[in-house]
């Protein structure tokens, strides 16, 4: 029996490593979403992550119409007041002060999402924005949402799942933040950090570690099993 072809629509080494860790055979292929949109509210954070994961997978479906394509997206939400469904319990956070709100309007800080979903922290564009993100997260708790999609064009299969992990960052001094940015160069990571980084700035987390790393593998596996892609 010929094994189904699985394509990972991502250039993320972390997502590739997670699939390899779970012994899932796949072919890496970069998605074609050049300018990834940033979450700005209007829908639940998990919906945004799922929708973008689907869009990434769909962007290469014409090149692999017979294959199963996995897409994924991760977003970090600070001061999350969302009441939507979640896989893990979330803490309640107080609103940012008016001074913080005015700072968030600058080009180097992320923007507050609409509908009280909190502050969306994307990938930092430079060291300044990375420093501002980590200063915001320092000593505080935030939520990491990762969406994953599984599609097959010829089967007309378009499904998605998500997971949520609550993460607390250690209280960091300015020097520690500068050092982390210099050593880790977290410019390809939502929120400006990686839970797996050796510098270890994460104090604690609740939920899936792999989800915070970049792939909601625990919720993706049942979907892969449903279509006999893994045993």
Active site residues: 73
DSSP category for residue 211: H
The answer to whether the beta carbons of residues 15 and 211 sit under 8 Å apart is no
SS3 assignment, position 166: strand
For residue 150, the number of C-alpha atoms closer than 13 Å in the C-beta half-sphere is 23
Alpha-helical regions (H) of 127-173? 127-137
Burial 183-209 (b: 16+ CB within 10 A, else e): ebebeebbbbbbbeeeeebbeebbbbe
The answer to whether the beta carbons of residues 186 and 194 sit under 8 Å apart is yes
Cβ-proximal residues to 107 (8 Å cutoff; 6+ apart), any chain: none
- Residues in a beta bridge with 228: none
């Amino acid at each position: 029996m010929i094994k189904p072809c699985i394509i990972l629509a991502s250039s993320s080494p972390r997502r590739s490593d997670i699939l390899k860790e779970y012994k899932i055979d796949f072919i890496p292929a970069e998605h074609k979403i050049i300018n990834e949109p940033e979450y700005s509210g209007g829908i639940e954070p998990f919906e945004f992550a799922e929708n973008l994961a689907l869009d990434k997978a769909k962007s290469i479906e014409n090149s692999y119409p017979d294959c199963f394509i996995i897409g994924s997206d991760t977003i970090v939400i600070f001061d999350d007041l969302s009441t939507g469904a979640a896989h893990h319990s979330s803490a309640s956070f107080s609103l940012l002060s008016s001074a913080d709100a005015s700072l968030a309007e600058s080009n180097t800080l992320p923007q507050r999402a609409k509908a009280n979903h909190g502050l969306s922290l994307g990938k930092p564009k430079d060291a300044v924005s990375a420093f501002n993100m980590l200063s915001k997260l320092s000593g505080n708790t935030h939520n990491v949402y990762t969406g994953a999609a599984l599609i097959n064009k010829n089967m007309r299969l378009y499904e998605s799942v998500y997971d949520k992990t609550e993460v607390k960052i250690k209280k960091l001094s300015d020097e520690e933040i500068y050092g982390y940015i210099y050593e880790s160069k977290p410019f390809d990571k939502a929120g400006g950090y990686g839970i797996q980084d050796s510098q270890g700035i994460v104090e604690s987390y609740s939920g899936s570690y792999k989800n915070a790393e970049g792939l909601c593998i625990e919720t993706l596996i049942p979907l892969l099993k449903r279509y006999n892609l893994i045993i």
